[in-house]
Every structure is written in C-alpha cells, then in structure tokens.
Chains A and B, each alone.
Chain A
C-alpha cells in the first residue's frame, strides 16, 4: 500500500489509495499531501 522511493537522495513514499480503501483503512489528508504520488482507480 505504501512504498519508499528515493528521489534525488531523498526518501519519499507513494501510497496506493485503492488498496487502502479496499482494506478499510483511511489515511489522513496530510499524509496524502506529502506523498510523492498516490494512486486510485481510474474508473468510476
């Protein structure tokens, strides 16, 4: 659901919001705001 990525020698993270929603987990908007990128379903 969350992965670390190194960007220009800086640790960042990516969030799969689709997987989190499926699991019933809810992320604070501040967390998603600082994520490098997040992912959600294209459809719907």
Chain B
C-alpha cells in the first residue's frame, strides 16, 4: 500500500522534504471535499503553504500538469493572518506553530484540510481520543 501511494505520485522520494511533499499530494487524492467547497465542477483544488519550507518549491513541481478527480491543483503561499477562503488544504510549516493556532480557529468547521509539519497541529480536545491506526503505515 505504501508503494502504491508513492507510485501514483510518479516521484522517487529520497530526502525528507521530498517525502513530506508527497504526503499533501496523496492527501489531496485521498480526501473528498463537499461540493460546497468548490465554485464549480472544474474549479481547482487550492493548496496554500504557510511558512518557510522546501515544500513551496517541491509541491508545484509535483502537481504540474496533474489533475485530481478532474481538477487542477494550484499551490500558493499563505501569509499569517491571510484569509483561507476558497482554499482546500493548508500546509503549515514547522516554523509557524503560533500562527497555526489562529489558522485552526479560522478553519474550524470549514472544509479546509489542515496539515502540519509539527506534531499537535490537529489539536486535542477533551472528548477526543486516540485509537491505534491498525497498521504501522508510512510513506
């Protein structure tokens, strides 16, 4: 399964940034957004990157000329405090822990997938509980 995920990207990930860049791309392919998240049936999937990370260069290369579920994928940078309207995935670099909390509040309940380079970006709430994922998967 791990090979399948990487194989679909067409990339041979060797360095840590390359491996991490493969993740958001595979997340895009594995997540279904509700129709309300798009203005029309061919609107692109918009990915925005918050903070300094090699992924800002790697991701555009990875999604160039690629369509996911009939949609192009657009990579943009995001500054702290900037609106995430019309955005489908936000990648938060390790350097942006504090702005990330603001971002999580802004996106709560909205169809915006938040992906953090640092552990804990997904926050834990009182009634939430971890369970084993079942398999020791990794890319």
Contact = CB atoms under 8 A, between A and B. Distances in A.
Contact of B20 (A11, A20, A36, A39): A11
Interface residues of A, number: 37
A35 B136 CA distance: 7
B53 to A, nearest CB: 11
Contacts of A39: 122, 124, 128-131
A4 B117 CA distance: 5
Contact of A24 (B19, B111, B121): B111
A15 B138 CA distance: 13
B116 A3 contact: yes
Interface in A1-44: 1-5, 7, 10-16, 18-20, 22-28, 30-43
A31 B1 CA distance: 10
A24 B9 CA distance: 25
Interface in B12-56: 16, 19-20, 23, 26-27, 29-34, 36-37
- List the 9 shortest-distance A-B pairs measured between CB atoms, nearest first: A34-B137, A16-B122, A31-B30, A28-B30, A42-B129, A26-B32, A24-B34, A35-B133, A37-B133
Given A27-B30, A28-B29, A33-B134, 7 more contacts: A2-B122, A3-B122, A4-B116, A4-B118, A14-B119, A18-B125, A35-B137
14 contacts: A2-B114, A2-B121, A3-B120, A5-B119, A11-B16, A11-B138, A22-B109, A33-B137, A34-B5, A36-B136, A36-B137, A36-B138, A40-B128, A40-B129
Interface of A: 1-5, 7, 10-16, 18-20, 22-28, 30-43
